[in-house]
Amino acid sequence: MEDSIFTKIIKREIPAEIIYEDDDTLAFLDIAPVSPGHTLVIPKKQVENIFDTDDATLAAVMRTVRKIAPAVRDAVGADALNIHSNHGAEAGQIVFHMHLHLIPRFKGDNFFMWPHKDYKEGEASEIAEKIRAKLA
């Protein structure tokens, strides 16, 4: 497998502002931040996205997110944080090495999030049933 751009950061082959590292994960500043302090948390194991990530790898990533979230928020004086992740090209994933975005949010920053819609009559039950069937 070819090294992803993030694996190259893990290997220190390309530079990044690394803020945290342990045996299984790395956290560094996003090169094109949505807001100051925008941080990416990645597993050192090169998995593409949620669909090929094992439980232990995901748990390690979430432990790191939990550990660094208050530091990221407080270091930039943010009021809150979005934890966001894209899984698949159609969902906006550009780098195919699983990662979570920690995006500091500020009161009144007015970032637009996606719009909500309504289900048609019976549609929610139908979709929920299809998902339950896939899980069975």
Q: Is 19 in the site for ligand AMP (CB under 6 A)?
A: no
Q: Which stretch binds ligand AMP (CB under 6 A): 30-38, 70-78, 103-111, 121-129?
A: 30-38
The residue assigned the tokens 């049933």 is: 129
Question: Which tokens belong to 90?
Answer: 């159609």
Q: What is the number of alpha carbons within 13 Å of residue 5 lying toward its C-beta?
A: 10
* Catalytic residue list contains 99: yes
Give the span between the Cα atoms of 95 and 32, in whole angstroms: 13
Give the span between the Cα atoms of 6 and 24, in whole angstroms: 13
> What single DSSP character describes residue 107?
T
Q: Is 95 in the site for ligand AMP (CB under 6 A)?
A: yes
Instruction: Choose the catalytic residue: 84, 99, 101, 116.
Output: 99
Q: Is 32 in the site for ligand AMP (CB under 6 A)?
A: yes
Applying CB under 6 A, the residues found at the interface with ligand AMP are 5, 14, 16, 30-32, 40, 86, 92-95
Active site residues: 99
